[in-house]
Chain A
Amino acid sequence: MIRNIQSAADLAPAYDLVVVGAGPAGLSAAVEASAHGLTVLLADENEAPGGQIYRSVERASDADLARMGPDYAAGRMLIERFRRADVSYANRATVWNVGPADEETGAGAHAIEVGISLGGIARPIAAHRVILATGALERPFPFPGWTMPGVMTAGAAQILMKSSGLVPSGRTILAGTGPLLYLLASQLLRAGVSVTAVVDTTPVENWRSALPHLLRFATSPYALKGLKLLLEVQRRTRVIRGVTALEAFGSGQFGALRVHRSNKSLHIEGDLLLLHQGIAPNLNLSLAAGCDYVWDERLAAFRPNVDGRGASSVSGVSIAGDAAGIVGAVASAHQGEFAGLSAALDLNRIGQGVYEQRRAQHAQKLARALRGRTFIDHRFRPGKTFRVPEDDGTIICRCEEITAGKLREVAALGVPGPNQMKAFTRCGMGPCQGRLCGLTAVELLAQCRGVPPGEVGYYRLRPPIKPVTLSELAALPHTEAATIAVAGFVERAHDAAQDATYGSHQ
């Protein structure tokens, strides 16, 4: 049975396995690993398990389930299994650090240290293994006006619907590309929302790269669902295709969208604008942990470099689900399960024979779940001008309000990469730590330099990957050596203070 962690005091100092994230990958990993006798802590920031896709599914009514569709309801079973598993579950817990155990305070038994904060108290936890299942986030979608109130993501609208039963009350415009856009349009229309238009920014030329994968897609479960959705939405609202540029207007909040198509433009009034142009791995914890990463050209995003069982370049740290590369809910669950199994193998709870059998099964299940994704990835790959805005006045870094023009000006100085660019402009220095500007900044710099984004690299990320108060940090374990490193000596009751100085530098 699940063990609910109510406060930091309930946390054990160490676990065999810490899983970060309670979406399909994390839940599956926790269930699998605990079934083999590992002590497991699953930590998640939200109030209830489910991640984004299965958000609030535990308390969903029949009406909610009907509204959201069968894929959502499938999450219920997984969460029920999770609730029955022998796992410690810390909700409303922020994991702000994962890394090798500290050279002094890491007792030597556990290879990995996890920094977790719950109820305003930060704790270091030791672990033999960590599985990062931090999922994905919506790609940034920068264009003039995207930062004004009344502009939100498609994912945000789904969260409001699932968790609070809230739907837009006014004229709603959806813009972008990808199946989620049409899924949301359909869900909103069924809920009686006034969907003024679906503004489709899918580049016309995507067909060319998607075509070779059409057959596989056509025989996948996505195809029929997708077609039905498309037809339904087209029947019930205005769909505008071949869009090449967007601008949002409003005084104080969103009021209208200008839509450009080749040399024509349309002006559409609305009360709410919902954006979506795909999702990208939520990288920050993986990168702060030191995991190597690669640029995935098809995804047009960075993802951590992992092997077939999800192992990253950092010993003991695995990554499963969308956090390792966009694969969808079902494949995420399979990857999480396999990562949990691999942890059990590593910690000698199962034998190699059993593992090999399961590995073969896993490969089959995964292949089935991934069928059709290649087509989707190509078909709905966001266009260049929506990934790197041409308009210099467009804000790229929302937190620090840095425009594309400012970044271009600095790029012209010959900055070697996004970290130097960050130093010169503050782009990426805000609380979101680059989650909403990183991809744009890198692609902009790559464009300016005429090199692939993979060559440009990404921000160097460090813990805390979410803000932590100084009082929480101050209460973490101190050591004498650390005190000497900062204060120069250790204050003692008697007068035998140790001195450790060099040079005269204060």
Chain B
Amino acid sequence: MDYDVIVVGGGLVGVSIAWGLSKCGQRVAIVDEGDLANRAARANFGLVWSSSKGLGSAAYSRWSRTSTANWHQLAAELKAETGIDTGFVQSGGFSIRLTPTELERGIASMAKLAGQPGMDAEGTPPLEYEILDQAETRRRLPLVGETVAGAIFSPLDGHANPLRLFAGFHKALKQRGVHYFPHRKTTAIRHHAGAFEVTGEGWRLGAGKVVLAAGIGNTALAPMLGLSVPLLPSRGQIIVTERLKPFLSHATGYLRQTDEGSVLIGESKEATIDHQRPRGPITAVLAERALRTFPLLRNAKAVRIWAAFRVVTPDGYPIYEQSERFPGAFACACHSGVTLAANHALVLPRQISAGALSEDLSVFHSRRFHVPAAV
């Protein structure tokens, strides 16, 4: 056995878990694809956001809220280890609602969310939010457009620099002696003589445990280990502007200004993964809504537009599971890898090291999708 754990996938989920495992004293290797792999890790918004999540799953709401709270510790530890500042700011987030209908829908959905049983738990920050009418929204965000109908504000939310987070993890891993193998696409995994053998073209590695954190790649690999990661096709597109002088320090649900000054404008949810080319009509809608939100951006220039694939399960909540047939094999698949990075780094690895996921993650097992097979 070359390693205690092999993590398949070097994106945010993979590196967060690998870092945490290394902190638990595990000998870890990461196998990763190449430079042009589908990398949600390089294609995300940077929100650390929980307030509006979990309509339909109180457990997911709690999981997101604790991860947001744990982000402070993650940021501090990465900074101490690598000197890299992930730019985490939890100054609250505004979910801006452009029209009265959007505002009504938001109010209704937050009420439904808050009213779910199981939303509160010991040690979990309680859900907090405020409904802001047009006047109050303009008071707190003086630069919003006149037609903005209102917003939902939550002090729980914030943002970080996802690329520095990603770079920070990689640097920390290198410093800790975790082996990172790029250009190693995993084609097969099997359990053999008490260990897991992870193989690809011209290479093979063995470990006592394996964690699938390969994003979209998980679907093909999971069945090899008695796991299941069904995913829906989902593409998201984002516009990035030139650097601008700071004008917005808060995160908003679909528009934020990074600490370098560029503005990210998102996001679309298209039920397709046929290509990653930005689409004109999507760009147009994103830009138009951004200008209704912050009219002062009229003449700001887009310097980059990209589209990437999300990791989305059929109900949108994560999959965390351990294989029953092959204990020691785990699967982790989710979107929101930035928000959940803290739990992936600080909570999951202890459980993986100990050989069992905690009971409260059992709601995220993929069996929730399984329709009983016809005989």
- State yes or no: do A and B touch (Cβ within 8 Å): yes
Chain A residues proximal to chain B, CB less than 8 Å: 97, 99-100, 102-105, 113, 115, 124, 290, 410, 412-420, 423-426, 429-431, 433, 456-457, 460, 462-464, 467-471, 473-479, 481-483, 485-489, 491, 497, 502-506
A-B pair count, CB < 8 Å, reads: 197
B242 touches A113 (CB 8 A): no
B57 to chain A, nearest CB (A): 7
Majority DSSP secondary structure for residues of B touching A: mixed
Which listed residue, A105, A426, A462, A504, touches B57 by the CB 8 Å rule? A504
14 pairs from A and B in contact (CB 8 Å cutoff): A97-B280, A102-B281, A416-B37, A417-B35, A462-B305, A468-B301, A471-B298, A471-B299, A482-B284, A483-B285, A486-B282, A503-B316, A505-B312, A506-B52
- With contacts A413-B174, A424-B163, A505-B316 known, is A482 near B241, CB below 8 A? no
B182 touches A415 (CB 8 A): yes
A105 touches B42 (CB 8 A): no
| Extra inter-chain contacts (5) besides given A416-B183, A486-B268, CB under 8 Å | A113-B280, A423-B163, A426-B260, A470-B291, A477-B280
B102 touches A469 (CB 8 A): no
Nearest residue, chain A, Cβ from B274:
A103
Q: How far is the CA of A420 from the CA of B34 in the complex (A)?
A: 9
> Does residue B32 face the partner (Cβ distance < 8 Å to A)?
yes
A424 touches B166 (CB 8 A): yes
B220 — which chain A residues lie within 8 A by C-beta? none
Q: How far is the CA of A481 from the CA of B280 in the complex (A)?
A: 12
A487 — which chain B residues lie within 8 A by C-beta? 98, 102, 285, 289
Report the count of interface residues on B (CB-CB < 8 A).
77
> Does residue B346 face the partner (Cβ distance < 8 Å to A)?
no
B253 touches A506 (CB 8 A): yes
A505 — which chain B residues lie within 8 A by C-beta? 53, 269, 312, 316, 335-336
Nearest residue, chain A, Cβ from B164:
A424
Nearest residue, chain A, Cβ from B95:
A506
Majority DSSP secondary structure for residues of A touching B: loop
Q: How far is the CA of A460 from the CA of B278 in the complex (A)?
A: 13
B60 touches A467 (CB 8 A): no
- With contacts A474-B288, A478-B285 known, is A462 near B316, CB below 8 A? no
A470 touches B302 (CB 8 A): yes
A423 touches B167 (CB 8 A): yes
A477 touches B180 (CB 8 A): no
B279 touches A460 (CB 8 A): no
A477 — which chain B residues lie within 8 A by C-beta? 280-281, 284
Q: How far is the CA of A423 from the CA of B240 in the complex (A)?
A: 14
B4 — which chain A residues lie within 8 A by C-beta? none
A473 touches B42 (CB 8 A): no
Nearest residue, chain A, Cβ from B55:
A504
B298 touches A485 (CB 8 A): no
B267 touches A486 (CB 8 A): yes
